[in-house]
Amino acid sequence: MEKPDLETARRYVDSKAYCWNSGMFMFSAAQALSALETFVPDIVSACRAAIESGTADLDFFRLDRAAFSKSPSDSIDYAVMERTDNGAMVPMAAGWNDLGSWEALWQVGTKDESKNVVKGDVVLHDVSDSYLHAESRLIAAVGLKDHIVVETSDAVMISPRDRVQDVKGLVDRLKARNREETRTHKRVYRPWGTVDQLVSGNRFQVNRLTVNPNGALSLQRHYNRSEHWTVVRGTALVTSGDEQFVLKEDSSTYISAGTAHRLENPGKIPLEVVEVQTGAYIGEDDITRLEDLYGRHRQES
């Protein structure tokens, strides 16, 4: 029974005839696939199609996006475990806590004298019984009690501790508004390294590119934006049109719209570059890929 109501849960606990499902399952791949094919064949067929149409590059395997997006969304509990007649439960007294919510992290966290659990750069005044988690900025809070405050580079969430499970409703609303936060993070991983979005505004965006040793961006061009690269750490090998040259730390170059270009790291340490994009349109789909070491598609960043 997934998430029974309070009265039902109390009855289960009082009866001492039930165990708590920790969500740890053991099965062979063949048995799992057989059960999935029986109960949720649409999921299996979508996943098979996503693998068959997928592509490999280095240590990445990229599922086919269109095929995988057709898979229904469901949990193993709903899809199989509540329906199978081929399961057995083994009790284990382990003091289990799956830390599946911010409230759970408050419960197990080290608390200060006001029963707050604090992570990161946080300054408090008259705050108690709360969980505050800062990743990239200062959190300053006054007069809170029994609250959850979580700050990341993507967003800030604030909720009473007893309402934190309602965050799913917020996610649904964000998806309905087609918000960028539901699709990508401020840090995006690429086969050659990472892209951290630092600042974004009207007609410009500032990123930090980290290129792994021997990594290389694709040879590409953009029709609607120009790029200015400044090397802050390491050595860059730059292709710009018919030219190829090396940039050391504290040096920069400008790539005008329409120019074929590539950034490579020939060194032994990660290459860090601050990239300033400017133009009428700076969306990631403004990419025409000419060559790529990793076998990515024409407009995949």
Domain that holds residue 53: 6-81
Write out the two tokens for 160: 């009473």
Instruction: Answer whether residue 38 is part of any domain.
Output: yes
- The pLDDT value recorded for residue 137 is 93
Instruction: Answer whether residue 254 is part of any domain.
Output: yes
- The pLDDT value recorded for residue 132 is 98
Same domain flag for 203 and 284: yes
**Residue 220: closest CA among 240, 243, 245, 194:** 240
DSSP category for residue 197: E
- The pLDDT value recorded for residue 301 is 46
Instruction: Answer whether residue 162 is part of any domain.
Output: yes
- pLDDT tens by residue, the chain, 301 residues: 778 899 999 999 999 999 888 778 899 999 999 999 999 999 999 999 999 999 886 667 889 999 999 999 999 988 998 899 988 888 888 777 777 789 999 999 999 999 999 999 999 999 999 999 999 999 999 999 999 999 998 899 999 999 988 888 898 999 999 988 888 888 889 989 999 999 999 999 999 999 999 999 999 999 999 999 999 999 999 999 999 999 999 999 999 999 999 999 999 999 999 999 999 999 888 999 999 988 776 554 4
Question: What is the DSSP pairing of strand 288-291 with strand 219-221?
Answer: antiparallel
Write out the two tokens for 116: 């707050």
Same domain flag for 196 and 230: yes
Instruction: Answer whether residue 35 is part of any domain.
Output: yes
Please tell me the pTM assigned to this model. Answer: 0.66
The C-alpha atoms of residue 152 and residue 158 are separated, in whole angstroms, by 12
The C-alpha atoms of residue 84 and residue 125 are separated, in whole angstroms, by 52
Instruction: Answer whether residue 233 is part of any domain.
Output: yes
DSSP category for residue 114: T
**Residue 263: closest CA among 199, 297, 220, 205:** 220
Work out how many domains the chain is built from and give that number: 3
Same domain flag for 209 and 277: yes
From 81, 111, 146, give the residue that closes a domain.
81
Question: What residues contact 264, with CB distance under 8 A and at least 6 apart?
Answer: 211, 215, 216, 217, 236, 237, 238, 239
Instruction: Answer whether residue 298 is part of any domain.
Output: no
From 81, 113, 146, give the residue that closes a domain.
81
